[in-house]
Amino acid sequence: MHILLREHKEFEVSFCDNFTKDHLIMPRLFKKERGRSYHCYSRKITENEVVLNSDYFVGLDWLTNDRFIQVEPKLNLAVLKSFENISSKIDEDISEEEIQKIDEESEKEVATTAVSDNSENDLVKEVNIIGMLMKIMSYNEVAKETDELLLIDWEAPEIDIDQKKDLLTPFLVVKFLNFLKDIVRKGLKKSYYKVQENLRNRVKGKILVGQQIKQNVFKNRFTNTVCEYEVFGEDSVENRFLKKVFLFCTQYVENNEYYFKNKNDISGIVNFIRPAFEHIGSEAYMQDIKYLKYNPFFKEYKEAIKIGQQILKRFSYSITKTTAEKNSTPPFWIDMPKMFELYVYAKLLADNPDLNITNLNYQFSTHGNSLDFLICTENKKIVVDSKYKLKYNYGQIHDDIRQVAGYARLNKVKNERPKIKNEIPCLIIYPRALGDPKDGQLKIDELFHNKINSYHEVYKIGIDLPFIDSIS
């Protein structure tokens, strides 16, 4: 039995004879950040029931020893619309009665979409996490920040789910293929590796006595010698292992269209990689790479092999499981605010060719505060905060705006070059309800059209996320 939730949804489960508070497993801790603990979901236990609340993470995990909870990446577009409407209505002279009325209207609008997960609802959309990851992984400087996106418990019992509900496998496949693309772009690593061969009328390297007796002496092939010698080239243990995982990944992509309906991007990566491994063997074993030493110049190998091992674990080293309609997966969780943050990072780089890792200042930190982005160009400085989890309460939205405005008053931010005399502009970037794609670009020169009126130099802009049902 499993409990299916979407993000920021509450679910009540009554206790019974075979389901009591003693059966519950403690929610998993995803991370600790700035003195605060973030659990993958929260719960409130009473005498008769447990109330489960999904929060900032999507994934699945054991609720008891025989029940699991699954949180899908579904956004309520009514919340996004409420955020846009309230942030436009923020006024210095608004009365308490008007604030209460706005909150009640927003709450009512959001509540109308609180339907069961099996119902059709145009305002509840599933975020295409794999599409977001493809965008993130297309920039090396952004891809380096993805280590903390995912939490996997390989030691826990696996959970049986439908292939379409499995976010972990396509997530790992996309990461692996992008790291492999970087390896191919740089050129496959050449190294010395051992080769065994039954040579005729010659000896090379070391004679393998045991195999020589079995293959040649017992069969009266006295002119042949089984030898082992070293060769310098690309057909090394590391490259053979990567080729083996690559074959698993291509098989998976071809047979699972749910997250790869638009195959142009992923097919382009696969076609770019394939020729480089055409003459590389695919015979490789886990023990062969266990004690590998990695060259700092080929640092992508370490990460690619690490993810490759995880992918082979997912399929239990059997390529036939890549086509199965049902599979089992270890408990895993994905940090969606972090995912959105990195998606914004990639969008800023994509829409502003002049920006780079130096003047974008990702996660600029000072005095326990951490800005998502501090953009510093020759004559501009902008404090940028990405907000994935939006509020529809007037006071909470006010707090979000005050937070980003407070960042701009930090001395370290003010003193960062270039120094400007006036107040530093602040920008809130948030996911919006579906709109004109032309309006969702993050070009620096065009970011200041949508001002939050009651604040000086505070702006907002919404960007579209890829949704599953919006893929052509």
Q: Which of 260, 327, 334 is nearest to 70 (CA)?
A: 334
Q: Which of 113, 140, 170 is nearest to 468 (CA)?
A: 170
Joined together, the tokens standing for residue 42 give 């929260």
Joined together, the tokens standing for residue 63 give 């609720």
Rg (CA), the chain: 27
Domain ranges in the chain are: 2-72, 78-124+336-470, 159-190+235-329, 191-233
CA distance 323 to 251: 8
**Strands of 67-223, DSSP E:** 68-72, 74-76, 124-126, 150-152, 159-162, 191-200, 206-207
pLDDT at 213: 94
CA distance 73 to 2: 16
Is the distance from CB of 392 to CB of 79 less than 8 angstroms?
Answer: yes
pLDDT at 173: 93
- One-letter amino acid of 64: T
Render each residue's pLDDT in the chain as its tens digit; 472 residues.
688 887 777 888 888 878 888 889 999 999 888 778 889 999 999 889 999 988 889 999 999 998 999 998 888 777 777 777 777 766 666 677 777 777 777 777 666 655 444 444 567 888 889 989 999 998 888 998 998 899 999 899 999 888 778 889 999 999 999 999 999 998 998 888 888 999 999 999 999 999 999 999 999 999 999 999 998 999 888 999 999 999 999 988 888 777 787 666 788 899 999 999 998 988 887 777 777 777 777 888 988 999 999 898 887 766 666 666 677 889 999 999 999 999 999 999 998 888 888 888 888 877 667 888 998 888 788 999 998 876 666 667 777 788 888 888 888 888 887 777 778 888 988 887 665 555 567 888 777 778 887 788 888 888 888 888 644 4
Which residues, in sequence order, are CB contacts of 369 under 8 Å at separation 6+? 407, 410
Q: Which of 188, 185, 174, 189 is nearest to 272 (CA)?
A: 185
Query: Chain centroid to CA 182: how far?
Result: 18
Q: Which of 131, 56, 141, 28 is nearest to 337 (CA)?
A: 56
3-class secondary structure, 432? coil
Distances 91 to 42, 101, 216, 393 between C-alpha atoms, Å: 34, 14, 91, 14
- Burial code (b: 16+ CB inside 10 Å, e: under 16) for 331-343 equals bbbbbbbbbbbbb
